[in-house]
Amino acid sequence: MRADPIQRAIDEDLVRVLYAQDPIAFFSHWFSIAVLVAIYWPHVPAPPLFIACFVFYALANCAGLALWICNRRYPQLVSPRDWIYLHALRGVLLYSGPGFAVWFAFQSPQTDLPLLHTVLLVTLAAGVFMSNGFDLLNFSTSIPFLLLPSIVLHFGSHTFDRTILAIVLAFFFCAINVYAMSYRKLFRQVVQARVDQQYLAESLAAQKRVAEEASLAKTRFFAAASHDLRQPLHAIGLLAASLNDPAATPAQHAKTAGHIVYNVEALNQLFNQVLDLARLESGVTQVIRLHFRLSELFDRVGSQYRPQAAAKGLALRIAPTTMVVYDDPVLLERVLSNLLSNAVRYTEQGAIWLGFRRAGRQKGGYIEVRDSGVGMAPQEHERIFEEFYQVENPQRDARQGHGLGLPTVRRLVGLLGGELQLRSAPGRGSVFRFAVQAGDASGIVASLNDSVAGGPAAQGRRVLCIDDEPSILEGLASLLERWGCDVRGARDEAGALAALADGFVPDAVLCDYQLANHRTGAQALSAIRGVLAREGHGNVVTLLITGDMASAELTALALQGIPVLHKPVTPARLRRTLEMLWQQAELDQGRPAGAVALGGGAADDSPPSPAAAGSPQAEAGSGAQSETQP
């Protein structure tokens, strides 16, 4: 992609150097005209032809001078390459004058005139080499017109001395072309090095600006996050202190406790939103595409936000569609949830519209969210995608959100391979839209509206939990046992392998990422899967749980589609993820979803399909979806 700008820069340098030499050339040519006229005029055989030739030579010199003045005054009149072409044309006209004028020397009775004229031509040729030798076009359109007529006429004289002179001229012609080739190569290397240096300097300057902008954005991010985190913490501190008031009534204590719970929930929501952004930035969020009906996704988000819209007197209209798309349903649900939440928050009257449009796309179309809200000015269209920026909330009222929804939406849409488009004007509402890819109805494996949270899929499952923190291991085991699972806990890889050796064959393995003895959960899961595969139990569901978002290995695991959940993990999210993994694994094996394999779970040899690993991206959707404890 750099070739055109660099070639243009090289051409600009050529133009600069070519035209910088012209004033000396003009002086040389006027001097040549004067010398040739003085030599030939007393002995000219054809005065009219001689006058015409030298008038042409003088006019060519004037034309060259006019071109030089035009270049100095109007350098942008034509492109650099065109200035080079014009300079080459000027060379043809200018050097053909003295080159063809040598004919008069051979017509003169003065036998020494051909030699004198040849000396003048060689002098001019040396000047051409110095001023034009670095450009092939200008050099090759000047030297032949200057020397070839003299070489031909000397060879045609059939005298020994002129034949020798013709040979010398021919050798000089070849030599000066060879030297010009080296000159051009050296000149181009110098110009290329300078242009590359300039390009690198500009690139470094651009990267420096990006780094400075990123640093400034990070500063703004932490300043706003610090404010929004301190607010509920400050309120919690004050409310907690009031609980120690002995004069407070039970009703007042209950009211205070309710306020504390509210602020804790607000704090948790903000933490989740910040962590969502961090996960997106770190590249560990997984995208697993499935074929599904878009209407089912619209129904899900519609049922969630229709009561909120109705509470404000707004109509939430969802356009019916039969479109099947191929996308990540969980990430797409997060996008729509954030957009609808934003629309409900900033629309006071009218309606909100959610629908799908083809808009001229043959393979897919656009999902649009429209509202009749306050809208925004054009200068705000980019700023609203900055973290913690809100158009009409300078006082940082937490009830108006935190300004993280739209930045999250833009990153999610980009992660899904699309581009978030915005149309808005003050008082005219806003339209957000992004492209989705068409899917195949025959590729649908399950309905999005099938409930997995309340089904019996967890009942009777065997789960192996690995975590080096005893409190987490105990809490996880207690939770899974309440769901009806048979749980075995281990604090490290060795303990897990010992459980397998005792005959415990799990349906799922939940493993922390950072384990003791410098081992990682990925290594432990690999060892466990290897043991199970050798025993004929290769279809076990595995799930990594981690609080680390900066590990290169986690990014690699995400790219491979290996399920990863990021702490904090709510019980609802964990259960939903496990049941979706079990459901998908059983669908892949051709068994009814929810059927428990006797004798220790999934004992099939084939590993789960990539789709089975896709559901864990539900963990990244915490920011926009409410989750309840089952």
At 473-508, the pLDDT tens digits run 999 999 999 988 999 999 989 999 999 999 999 999
User: What is the DSSP secondary-structure string of 485-534?
Assistant: -EEEEESSHHHHHHHHHTT---SEEEEESB-STT-BHHHHHHHHHHHHHH
**614/377: higher pLDDT:** 377
Q: How far apart are CA 593 and CA 336, in angstroms?
A: 28
* Whether 472 contacts 567, CB under 8 Å: no
**33/68: higher pLDDT:** 68
**611/39: higher pLDDT:** 39
Give residue 5's pLDDT. 67
Give residue 486's pLDDT. 93
Asked: is 456-623 a CATH 3.40.50.2300 domain? The reply is yes
CA dihedral 77, 81, 86, 91 (to 10 degrees): 150
Give residue 590's pLDDT. 55
* pLDDT tens for each residue of 42-53: 776 667 877 888
Range among 122-131, 497-506, 546-555 with highest mean pLDDT value: 497-506
Lowest mean pLDDT among 162-176, 254-268, 516-530: 254-268
| Residues of the chain by 3-state class (helix, strand, coil), percent to 5 | 60, 10, 30
Q: How far apart are CA 458 and CA 437, in angstroms?
A: 34
Q: Is the pLDDT of residue 435 over 80?
A: yes
Q: Mean pLDDT across the chain, nearest whole number?
A: 77
CATH class for the domain made up of 290-443: alpha beta
Q: Is the pLDDT of residue 396 over 60?
A: no
Mean pLDDT on 59-64: 86
Mean pLDDT on 101-111: 77
Q: How confident is the model at residue 447 (pLDDT cuts 50, 70, 90)?
A: low
Q: Report the predicted TM-score, pTM, of the whole model to 2 decimal places.
A: 0.49
Q: Is the pLDDT of residue 212 over 50?
A: yes
Read off φ and ψ for residue 519, nearest 5 degrees. Answer: -105, 150
Q: How confident is the model at residue 511 (pLDDT cuts 50, 70, 90)?
A: very high
**56/397: higher pLDDT:** 56
Q: How far apart are CA 67 and CA 90, in angstroms?
A: 8
User: What is the DSSP secondary-structure string of 263-279?
Assistant: HHHHHHHHHHHHHHHHH
Mean pLDDT on 289-318: 88
Q: How confident is the model at residue 150 (pLDDT cuts 50, 70, 90)?
A: confident
Closest CA to 384 of 349, 336, 436, 420: 420
Nearest 5°: CA angle at 469, between 463 and 472?
55
* Whether 288 contacts 272, CB under 8 Å: no
Q: What is the widest separation between alpha-carbon atoms in the chain?
A: 134
Q: Is the pLDDT of residue 173 over 50?
A: yes
Give residue 355's pLDDT. 92
Give residue 390's pLDDT. 56
Q: Could you give the percent of the chain with pLDDT greater than 90?
A: 9
Q: What's the token pair of residue 55?
A: 């008038």
> What is the helix (H) or strand (E) element at residue 356, kind and residue range?
strand 351-357
